[in-house]
């Protein structure tokens, strides 16, 4: 990085200029070049018109959970305890990987037997780039938005794509 004060060439990642001592950290931040980049870097998660959380209790049957997925047209339900604290997520992927072709009597089994426990969530203050990175890094299609351990919504890859394509119009 070139120091804006003295013009010295510094190694990338240096926090201060080796020549004059100028603090370089403010100049090492990415700069948004377009509306799409600005949205990713600045807009918080709820800016996507976040879907309300559809929740079930751990003892809810798989049959009831599937019915909710279909009725609400969502790809995942959040599993909460009696205090509404997030304990798991049950998604279409859980159905395919943990139930289909494996369990015959699954309809009456509790969702806690097949949910993904302790899902990774985001806060309402996290920016979209962080949410997208979390989805990509974890291979998630759905990420709960959590406040004080309680889900307040859920973001899906579909929500992200819808938001990003609207910015490109």
The span from the CA of 90 to the CA of 128, in Å, is 23
Average pLDDT over residues 159-164: 86
Q: Do 13 and 56 fall into the same domain?
A: no
Structural domain includes residue 153: yes
Does 151 lie in the same domain as 102? yes
For residue 33, is pLDDT > 70? no
pLDDT (0 to 100) of residue 51:
78
Taking the CA atoms of the chain, what radius of gyration do you get in angstroms?
A: 21
**Are 8 and 66 members of one domain?**
no
Residues 15, 95, single domain; the answer is no
pLDDT of 169 above 70:
no
Domain of residue 20, residue span: 1-30
Domain count, the chain: 2
Q: Predicted confidence band at 31 (pLDDT cuts at 50, 70, 90)?
A: low
pLDDT at 46 over 80: no
pLDDT digits (tens, 9 = 90+) for 80-100: 999 999 999 999 999 999 988
Confidence of residue 166 (pLDDT cuts 50, 70, 90): confident
**Does pLDDT of 16 surpass 80?**
yes
pTM tops 0.85:
no
Residue 142 has pLDDT above 90, yes or no: yes
Q: Kindly state whether residue 37 falls inside one of the protein's structural domains.
A: no
pLDDT higher than threshold 90 for residue 64? yes
Percent of the chain with pLDDT over 90: 47
Residue 161 has pLDDT above 90, yes or no: no
Contact predicate 22/123, CB 8 Å: no
CB–CB of 75/69 below 8 Å?
A: yes
Confidence of residue 167 (pLDDT cuts 50, 70, 90): confident
Q: Kindly tell me the number of DSSP H helices and DSSP E strands found in the chain.
A: 5, 6
- Looking at the fold, whether 161 and 84 belong to one and the same domain comes out as yes
Closest among 35, 41, 14, 37 to 25, alpha carbons compared: 14
* Residue 126 maps to a domain: yes
CATH of residue 65:
3.10.580.10
Length of the chain: 169
- The answer as to whether 36 is a domain residue is no
Answer yes or no: is 7 within a domain. yes
Please say if the pLDDT value at position 109 is more than 70. Answer: yes
Q: Are residues 19 and 63 in the same domain?
A: no
Q: Mark whether 68 and 24 lie in a shared domain.
A: no
């Amino acid at each position: 990085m070139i120091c804006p004060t003295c013009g010295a060439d510094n190694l990338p990642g240096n926090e201060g200029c080796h020549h004059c001592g100028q603090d370089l950290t403010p100049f090492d931040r990415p700069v948004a070049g377009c509306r799409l980049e600005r949205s990713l870097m600045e807009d918080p998660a709820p800016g996507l018109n976040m879907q309300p959380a559809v929740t079930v209790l751990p003892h809810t049957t798989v049959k009831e959970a599937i019915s909710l997925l279909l009725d609400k047209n969502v790809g995942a339900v959040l599993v909460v305890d009696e205090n509404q604290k997030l304990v798991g997520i049950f998604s279409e992927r859980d159905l395919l990987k943990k139930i289909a072709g494996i369990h015959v009597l699954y309809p009456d089994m509790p969702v806690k037997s097949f949910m993904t426990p302790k899902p990774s969530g985001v806060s309402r203050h996290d920016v979209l780039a962080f949410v997208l990175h979390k989805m990509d890094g974890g291979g998630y299609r759905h990420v709960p938005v959590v406040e004080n351990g309680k889900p307040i919504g859920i973001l899906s890859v579909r929500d992200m794509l819808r938001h990003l394509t609207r910015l490109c119009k």
